[in-house]
Amino acid sequence: MDDSPLSMHIANTVAALRHLLRSQAGGLPRVVRPPRPPEPVRVAPPAAVRTPPAPSKAAAPPTPVPRDTLSLPEVDPWPDLDLAGVGGLVAACTRCDLASTRTHTVFGEGALNPPVMFIGEGPGAEEDKAGRPFVGPAGQLLDSMIRAMGLTREACYIANVVKCRPPNNAVPRPDQAGPCMPYLFAQIRRVQPRFIVALGATAAKALFGKPEASVGRLRGRLHQLGDIPLVVTYHPAALLRDPGFKRPTWEDLKLVMARLKTGDE
């Protein structure tokens, strides 16, 4: 081999190759890659195993929806009177101007400890004549609603916020509804219903003690008056005017029915 550039290049290349062969034979450590773990074998579980497991007993119970809790007045003004005794007070009542235009007071009627106590607004012309609640067209619709719930009118209790008819079926004013409220609270205490259904805005405003209360905002869920669950829904007269209210009203009544059935109040 001469020392021409080509010979020198060949000699360097050969030396580099020798070095590489030597190092592979044991000189430099070789990077050993760990063997790939075998692919897990995916086996479909048998059908029985794939069905969702039964909910464990430790599963958290559904969170109860908070209810508006209203209280009955702390003091019963007539602790010595039974329901008929309070009815006697109403028959003689002159607390507001409605006393001067009424034919009859309309106290309320029905069973004690009923599944449901319905509370309407006040007597209309037919109720004023008969001295009984909900006997006119709205009353006939209320009767069908009660039957659709699987109940009877006689098994329920029916009352109103005001016990005397407002002339021209006007909505009772606060100075008419207010003085009548002790009678209604006295009825609720003595009737002890399992559920109260407030029919319409007048009943909702009176029971919630809020002039701004509205059925639209309060319906569709449970409230509580003392220890009695309470549902607000539309008045049957509203359903007669606008059948569009029938569906939400039925939803509200189903809420009551479901609770009555399970005893979960």
The footprint of ligand URA (CB under 6 A) covers: 120-124, 127, 133-134, 136, 138-139, 160, 237
Closer to ligand URA by CB, 133 or 229: give it.
133
Q: Give me the residue whose beta carbon is nearest to ligand URA.
A: 120
Closer to ligand URA by CB, 121 or 252: give it.
121
Pair 198, 230: CB distance under 8 Å: yes
Residue type (1 letter), 25: A
49-56's contacts with Cβ under 8 Å and 24+ in sequence apart are none
Q: How far apart are CA 139 and CA 243, in angstroms?
A: 16
Q: What's the closest the beta carbon of residue 126 comes to ligand URA, in angstroms?
A: 8
Q: What stretch of H or E contains 232?
A: strand 228-233
Q: What's the closest the beta carbon of residue 139 comes to ligand URA, in angstroms?
A: 6
Closer to ligand URA by CB, 123 or 229: give it.
123
Closer to ligand URA by CB, 160 or 187: give it.
160
Q: What's the closest the beta carbon of residue 169 comes to ligand URA, in angstroms?
A: 8
Q: How far apart are CA 108 and CA 118, in angstroms?
A: 10
Pair 108, 133: CB distance under 8 Å: yes
Q: What's the closest the beta carbon of residue 203 comes to ligand URA, in angstroms?
A: 8
Structure tokens at 95: 């607390």
